[in-house]
Amino acid sequence: MRKYVIMGVQGSGKGTQGTMLARDFDLVQIAVGDIFRWHVQNHSKLGAQVRRVMASGELVGDDLVEAVVRQRLNEHDWNYGFIVDGFPRNANQAEFFLESYDIDGVIHLDLPDDEVRRRVLARRSCSRCGMDYNLIAQSPKVEGRCDACGAELISREDDTEEALASRLRDYHEKTNPVLDIFRRKEFVFTVDARGEKADVQQEIRKQLGLPESQ
Ligand SMILES: [Zn+2]
Query: In the annotation, is 14 catalytic?
Result: yes
Please tell me the pTM assigned to this model: 0.85
Interstrand relation of 28-31 and 81-85 (parallel, antiparallel or unpaired): parallel
Instruction: Report pLDDT digits (tens) over 115-138.
Output: 999 999 999 999 999 999 989 888
Interstrand relation of 153-154 and 123-126 (parallel, antiparallel or unpaired): antiparallel
- Active-site residue identified among 3, 14, 119, 205: 14
Q: What is the pLDDT of residue 214?
A: 55
Burial grade of 30 (CB within 10 A; 0-12, 13-18, 19 or more): buried
Average pLDDT value for residue range 29-36: 89
Query: In the annotation, is 123 catalytic?
Result: yes
Query: In the annotation, is 70 catalytic?
Result: no
Instruction: Report pLDDT digits (tens) over 141-170.
Output: 999 999 999 999 999 888 899 999 999 999
- Active-site residue identified among 156, 169, 185, 206: 156
- Active-site residue identified among 89, 119, 124, 205: 89
Cα separations in angstroms, 20 against 74, 84, 107, 196, 214: 23, 13, 13, 13, 12
Instruction: Report pLDDT digits (tens) over 192-213.
Output: 999 999 999 999 999 999 998 7
Burial grade of 170 (CB within 10 A; 0-12, 13-18, 19 or more): exposed
Q: What is the pLDDT of residue 144?
A: 95
Q: What's the gap in Å between 156 CA and the centre of ligand 1?
A: 15
Q: What is the pLDDT of residue 195?
A: 93
